[in-house]
Amino acid sequence: MISGVLGSTILTLCVIGVIAAVVLYFVAQKFKVHEDPRIDAVEGMLPGANCGGCGYPGCRGLADALVKNDDISSLYCTAGGADTMQKIAEYLGKAVAEQEPMVAVVRCSGSCDKRPHTNVYNGAPSCAVEAALYGGETGCAYGCLGNGDCVAACQFGAIVGNPETGLPEVDETKCTACGACVKACPRNIIELRKKGVKGRRIYVGCVNRDKGAVSRKVCAVSCIGCGKCVRTCPFEAITLENNLAYIDAEKCRLCRKCVAECPTGGIREINFPPRKTAADNPTTRRNIKSAKPRQSPISRCRKSPSCRCRNISAPRRRPASKKETRCGSAR
């Protein structure tokens, strides 16, 4: 009796399981989402960093957008670069817009010797925490705090902290311009700028918006808002707002006139050759060596036989007195 009940129970459960499986199968087929197989192929072409520099949460989201959108000119993988985007565009048969390579720059030049410390921070080693608590260890309330939030945010090892200067340094050969360091900095001193021709770029290495006397007191290389760079730039690439100069990379022609004009040295020039001085110019050195001393008009005139100024230039002899003449004749 018990075995019969147990067998019927097991049989009933098996029938219910089979019926449920059949129902689930037809439901899955009814609501099945057909995914384009090209999404997997495009995702395989992407670097797989999932850095979010493209604006999507991961490479899967960017791959889906690249496949589904007909116009992909606004989509770009910063980690993969132009080569990756060109490869994907050829696979999908679409046109991709060319973009100039970007690189992260640290707009703070206040090293330890230029921006002295006034106190010691003993809290959590985080720029976000320190910025939320107070102005920092120096008198500048705008500069780098030096706790390395940007270093921790970079997945490519492109930013390292320099213990001598106390500032982060960007390795442009590793930087993919993903923007993770820009988001991690609580003081917004890291900016994505054009890499420039031969890696050359010019920017203001300061974000201090205090008045000139105040900013110069706390940092020797701060922008004092004097406006000399604005007046010097022939391309109108520099603007001055809130006591701070800013160089527009789209208008800048890398003439470096503003660099020489800045009284504090707050404008930085990257990957430029050293400036040539007059002594370094071989033509100038040759001219200096071959230059003859200028002759006075009298000396030039004395060379002429008909010169009347010989007597002027020649030293006059004092006529001998009679006594000297007699003595001379007696001798």
Q: What is the pLDDT of residues 68-119, one digit of tens each?
A: 888 888 888 888 888 899 999 999 988 888 888 899 999 999 999 999 999 9
Which one of 3.30.70.20, 3.30.70.260, 3.30.420.40, 3.40.250.10 gives the CATH number of domain 102-270?
Answer: 3.30.70.20
Mean pLDDT, rounded, for 279-284: 58
Task: Pick the more confident residue, 267 or 29.
Answer: 267
Query: What pLDDT, on the 0 to 100 scale, is given for residue 283?
Result: 56
The answer to whether residue 51 scores a pLDDT higher than 70 is yes
Cα–Cα distance, 45 to 170 (Å, whole number)? 26
Percent of the chain residues topping a pLDDT of 90: 54
E strand or H helix at 41, and its extent? helix 38-45
The residue extents of the domains of the chain are 38-92, 102-270
In the numeric block, which tokens belong to residue 85? 């985007």
More confident call, 2 vs 320 = 2
- Is residue 296's pLDDT more than 80? no
Distance of CA 70 to the CA centre of its chain: 34
Return d(Cα 78, Cα 170) in angstroms, integer.
16
- pLDDT at residue 325 tops 60: no
Q: Which uninterrupted H or E stretch holds 247?
A: strand 244-247
Q: Using one digit for the tens of pLDDT, what is the confidence trace for 167-199?
A: 999 999 999 999 999 999 999 999 999 988 889
For residue 64 the two structure tokens come to 């889906």
Secondary-structure class of domain 38-92 per CATH: mainly alpha
CA distance 238 to 246: 6
Same fold, 38-92 and 102-270: no
